[in-house]
Structure 1
Amino acid sequence: MLEGNRRFVSGTPRHPRQDVERRTELATYQRPNAALFGCSDSRLAAEIIFDEGLGDLFVVRNAGQVISDSVIGSLEYAVGVLEVPLIVVLAHDACGAVGAAIDSTGMDAPTLPAYIWRQIAPIVPSVRRVQRAEAAEGRTPERPNPELVGREHLRYTVGELLRASELISEAVAAGRVAVVGANYRLDEGEAVPIVAIGDVDEPRATDPA
């Protein structure tokens, strides 16, 4: 995935495994190389930014990459049934959900529609942790740094996934799965690993096209 992202950043994508033969081959099975849980932001199309093809990634997305029962169930399916060796949790700069969570903590914050609030509420604890850390350093900005909040939420999300899913945490402990939290830089197009848990040195070979 890192190699594919480097091709995307340099403007030399190969668009692999996207032909008719690959489509036909995958009509009766799938064996993705990784599961990706990321934000729904339209600028984070996983197969494009990692220069992957059909059947390469099992993708789960929602606004702000917030852990939920459906997310955990989907990722457990990827690990338990599809046997993916890697889960990538992908955050990004300038995330609208993170910004909304920050704004919701303001004194004059408007009331959000109920479902939007439920979606961003799990990000608010990360906002509070960043605020406390900034205060401990003698800094009290009017608005917490969105990049710091986004990365704190990313680390929290990886930890919460492992706490919530016994299946995934046991697979990590057994060395069958690694979990990587990465941040996508919108300007550069680069996905930068922030946290890694488990052995990420032995990725499964891509199935032949």
Structure 2
Amino acid sequence: MAQLMVSGIEAIQRLKDGNKRFVSGVRSIDNMIKQSQREEFVEGQAPFAIILGCADSRVPAEIVFDQGLGDLFVIRVAGNIVAPSQVGSIEFATDTFGTALVVVLGHSQCGAVKAAIEELKNPKGAHSFNLLSIVNRIMPTVEPLFHTELRHQDDKLLDASVHANILASTNQLRHGSARLEQLVQEGKLTIIGAEYSLKTGIVTFIEGL
């Protein structure tokens, strides 16, 4: 089922509206109907937004934004980190579908960010090589916060680290890919950060980056 392409601004509003429905416990009837129309998506898709989100089981993008089949192109990895495979997936989606919005979706109490903080506090190297590949991408973003008063306040340190990690991933996408940077400069792509609250269900968009 083809969709008309939408601008980055319109796509953000759709996500905001969907999250409001999710928080209020009211689902879109149209999106519910889409779940039974999978045959209509066999020949193609036209997602209006790309979501690079954390793999945490409590933060499924399609649900927290109340969207249906074919609406979102979702890439999930612990800590919503940016690595070549994620960049390539996003480049594929922008070039293939013309999707005009990328959202880096982090969340409160992120386990991968916690692991990075613990590794900085007590370097043990106890993680597997593959897990360290994730933690090592987060630590450089978190480490400067240890030179502030936040180092004495665990909860605030974690909150600030989650926020900083989202900003870092957003910045990496904007400047770590020549293709994505070109699309942003041409006004064809918006890349924005957002944070999901496990407690409230609310997604806060980090605008004006």
Identify whether the pair has TM-score above 0.5, normalized to the shorter chain. yes
Are the counterparts in 1 of residues 151 and 157 from structure 2 also a CA contact under 8 Å? no
> Which among 125, 130, 155 is matched to residue 115 of structure 1?
130
Compute the displacement of 1:23 (Å). 1.4
Match of 1:167 among 161, 175, 179: 179
Q: Identify the residue that residue 125 of structure 1 maps to in structure 2.
A: 140
- Out of 47, 69, 74, the residue aligned to residue 32 of structure 1 is 47
Unaligned runs of 5+ in 1: 198-209
Structure 1 residue 96: deviation in Å? 0.3
Q: Give the structure 1 partner of residue 5 of structure 2.
A: none
1:148 equivalent in structure 2: 160
Instruction: Note if contact 2:174-2:191 (Cα within 8 Å) is conserved in structure 1.
Output: no
Q: TM-score, normalised by structure 1?
A: 0.86
Could you tell me which runs of 5 or more consecutive residues in structure 2 were left unpaired when the two chains were aligned.
1-14
Distance 1:45 1:67 in 2: 18
Which structure shows the bigger proportion of residues in helix conformation?
A: 2
Counting only pairs closer than 5 Å after superposition, residues 177-192 of structure 1 correspond to structure 2 as: 177-192=189-204
Q: How many residues align?
A: 192
Alignment of 1:1-209 (within 5 A): 1-14=15-28, 16=31, 17-20=33-36, 22-107=37-122, 109=124, 111-132=126-147, 134-135=148-149, 140-141=151-152, 143=154, 145-196=157-208
Aligned-residue sequence identity (percent) comes to 32
Letter in 1 for 2:115: A
SS at match of 2:46: coil
Deviations 1:103-154 (CA, angstroms, capped at 9, x unpaired): 001236462111111111110011112122x15xxx6417471010010111
Q: Which aligned runs of 4 or more in structure 1 are off by greater than 6 angstroms?
A: none
